[in-house]
């Protein structure tokens, strides 16, 4: 009998207690990541941003960012001495009739008998205008909107656009790269041809072209960046798949009868996933910057939305008047996030790359 399953020695040993589980690749990567202090700090910052974005998206924060809550161009509260709003700007909200004239002309005024009636009628309406603040925590923009709320909402939109676009680009790039790298041949040649055509056109031209066709909006931005930004991911995944497809463990999988899709996705993909992941996080950073540029150029989010890019575009005219707070808020929010995210991606790459293990 070739089935030795019944041999007592084998089965006694085989039924031994389940052994301790050794750390998987991701767990040990996390262990290495935890040792990286910069990585952990940047991860904390990114998580804090994520929390803010989640709150904003649920409407807990900055829901009424479009309201006029301050005087136009109100300065930040910590700048008490800063340029006070011109007196005329803060018109007291008055519902009373025009103040009595110096000269009584009621006898010649044909409307005089109706003033009283009008006043009574007007008194029935209660215009509920919120008190307009002279200063706001981070100041206000030209329309008196709270810069802090705008920055929060802008963060939500910019980051989600960057992340979504990176996911779209990764899906396109990784799938095409896996196919081209694994199969090669005419399929590989075809994808390579598409890649060449896309990369031959300058990016900014592609952005304009796509924007012109799709119009403005978040989904357009995600599509534009996803459709143009997959090339780098594609090249890298393709190279990795070419390399791995020839390795013996993949051959061994073929020898035991694993199908092509199983070899591609069960065997090779986990082995190149760290490359994809790191590339994707670098793309997020890049796409956020591109979104800012596109919004600045007027190709970005719709006019009733706010993003870091639109804030920067608005602050251009404000800066001339010395109103720097919107610029500062947008750039700080962006710089902190982008830096933290890049550092985190770097730390992940170090933690995930088995060659750097020591």
Partner 1 sequence: MTTPPLLKVDNLQVAFRLHDASGRSRRIEAVGRGEQGVSFEVPANTTVALVGESGSGKSVTAMALVQLLPRNAECAGRVLWRGDDLLRAPPAHMQRLRGHEIACVFQDPMSSLNPVLTVGEQIAEPLRKHLLMSRAAARARAGELMAEVGIAEPRRRLDTYPHQLSGGQQQRVMIAMALACEPQLLIADEPTTALDVTIQRQILELLARLQAQRGLAMLFITHDLGVVGEIAQQVVVMRQGTVRERGTVSELFDDPKDAYTKALLACRPRLDERPRRLTVIDDLLADESSGIDLPLALRAPQADANPRRADDDDPVVLQVDGLSKSFWLRDGLFGRSEFKAVQDVRFTLRRGHTLGVVGESGSGKTTMGLTLLRLHDAASGPLAGRVLLHGHDLLALAPADRLAMRRRIQIVFQNPYEALNPRFTIGQTLAEPMAIHGIGIDAPARERRAREWLVRVGLDTEAMHKYPHEFSGGQRQRIAIARSLTLSPDVLVLDEAVSALDVSVQAQVLNLLKDLQDELGLAYIFISHDLAVVRFMADDVMVMKDGRVVEHRRTETLLAHPQDDYTRRLIVAVAQRPGPASRRPAGAATS
In order, the DSSP letters of 269-292 are: HHHHHHHHHHHHHHHHHHHHHHHH
Nearer to partner 1, 108 or 255 (CB): 255
* 329 token code pair: 């808020």
11 counts as binding partner 1 under rule CB under 8 A: yes
- Give residues 70-109 in contact with partner 1 (rule: CB under 8 A): none
* 246 token code pair: 């020839």
In order, the DSSP letters of 44-83 are: HHHHHHHHHHHHHHHTSSSTTTTS--BSTTPPBTT-TTSP
Closest separation in Å from C-beta 226 to partner 1: 28
Nearer to partner 1, 13 or 111 (CB): 13
Distance set, CA 179 to CA 156, 245, 246 (Å):
34, 11, 14
Nearer to partner 1, 93 or 356 (CB): 356
Contact with partner 1 (CB under 8 A): which of 8, 20, 105, 126?
A: 20
- Give residues 180-219 in contact with partner 1 (rule: CB under 8 A): 185
**CB distance 216 to 305 below 8 Å:** no
- Give residues 23-52 in contact with partner 1 (rule: CB under 8 A): 24-25, 28, 31-32, 35
**CB distance 286 to 342 below 8 Å:** no
Nearer to partner 1, 12 or 96 (CB): 12
* Rounded Cα distance, 155 and 306, in Å: 9
* Rounded Cα distance, 172 and 175, in Å: 5
* Rounded Cα distance, 28 and 13, in Å: 29
Binding window for partner 1 (CB under 8 A); candidates: 2-10, 90-98, 147-155, 199-207: 2-10
Nearer to partner 1, 19 or 127 (CB): 19
Contact with partner 1 (CB under 8 A): which of 14, 100, 103, 212?
A: 14
Give the residue from 141, 223, 241 showing the smallest Cα distance to 187: 241
Mapping DSSP onto H, E and C, the string for 222-273 reads: HHHHHHHHCHHHHHHHHHHHHHHHCCHHHHHHHHCCCCHHHHHHHHHHHHHH
Annotate each residue in 275-314 with x if it binds partner 1 (CB under 8 A) or - if it does not, as one string: ----------------------------------------
> Across the chain, which distance is largest between two alpha carbons, in Å?
125
Binding window for partner 1 (CB under 8 A); candidates: 20-28, 143-151, 221-229, 281-289: 20-28
Nearer to partner 1, 116 or 251 (CB): 251
Annotate each residue in 233-272 with x if it binds partner 1 (CB under 8 A) or - if it does not, as one string: --------------xxx-xxxxxxxx---x----x--xx-
Distance set, CA 344 to CA 25, 77, 119, 249 (Å):
18, 33, 64, 31
Count of positions on this chain that bind partner 1 (CB under 8 A): 40
Closest separation in Å from C-beta 235 to partner 1: 22
Q: List contacts with partner 1 (CB under 8 A).
A: 2-5, 9-11, 13-16, 18-22, 24-25, 28, 31-32, 35, 185, 247-249, 251-258, 262, 267, 270-271, 354, 358
């Amino acid at each position: 009998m070739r089935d030795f399953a019944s041999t007592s020695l084998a089965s006694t040993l085989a039924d031994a207690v389940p052994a301790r589980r050794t750390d998987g690749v991701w767990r040990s990567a996390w262990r290495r990541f935890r040792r990286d202090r910069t990585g952990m700090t940047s991860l904390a910052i990114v998580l804090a941003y994520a929390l803010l974005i989640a709150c904003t998206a649920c409407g807990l924060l900055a829901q009424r960012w479009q309201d006029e809550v301050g005087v136009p161009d109100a300065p930040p509260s910590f700048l008490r001495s800063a340029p006070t709003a011109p007196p005329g700007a803060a018109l007291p909200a008055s519902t009373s009739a025009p103040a009595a004239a110096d000269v009584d002309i009621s006898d010649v005024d044909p409307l005089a008998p109706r003033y009283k009636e009008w006043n009574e009628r007007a008194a029935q309406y209660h215009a509920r205008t919120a008190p307009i603040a002279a200063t706001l925590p981070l100041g206000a923009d030209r329309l008196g909107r709270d810069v802090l709320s705008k920055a929060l909402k802008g963060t939500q939109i910019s980051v989600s656009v960057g992340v979504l676009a990176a996911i779209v680009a990764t899906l396109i790039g990784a799938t095409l790269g896996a196919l081209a790298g694994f199969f090669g041949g005419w399929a590989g040649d075809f994808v390579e041809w598409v890649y060449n055509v896309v990369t031959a056109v300058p990016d900014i031209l592609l952005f304009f072209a796509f924007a012109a066709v799709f119009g403005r909006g978040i989904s357009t931005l995600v599509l534009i960046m996803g459709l143009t930004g997959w090339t780098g991911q594609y090249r890298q995944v393709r190279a990795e798949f070419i390399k791995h497809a020839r390795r013996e463990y993949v051959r061994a999988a073929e020898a035991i009868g694993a199908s092509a899709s199983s070899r591609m996705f069960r065997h090779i993909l986990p082995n190149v996933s760290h490359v994809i992941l790191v590339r994707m996080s670098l793309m997020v950073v890049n796409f956020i910057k591109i979104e800012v540029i596109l919004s600045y150029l007027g190709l970005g989010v719709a006019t009733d939305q706010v993003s870091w890019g639109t804030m920067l575009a608005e602050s251009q005219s404000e800066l001339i008047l010395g109103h720097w707070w919107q610029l500062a808020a947008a750039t700080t929010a962006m710089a902190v996030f982008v830096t933290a995210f890049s550092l985190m991606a770097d730390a992940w790459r170090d933690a995930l790359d088995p060659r750097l293990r020591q």
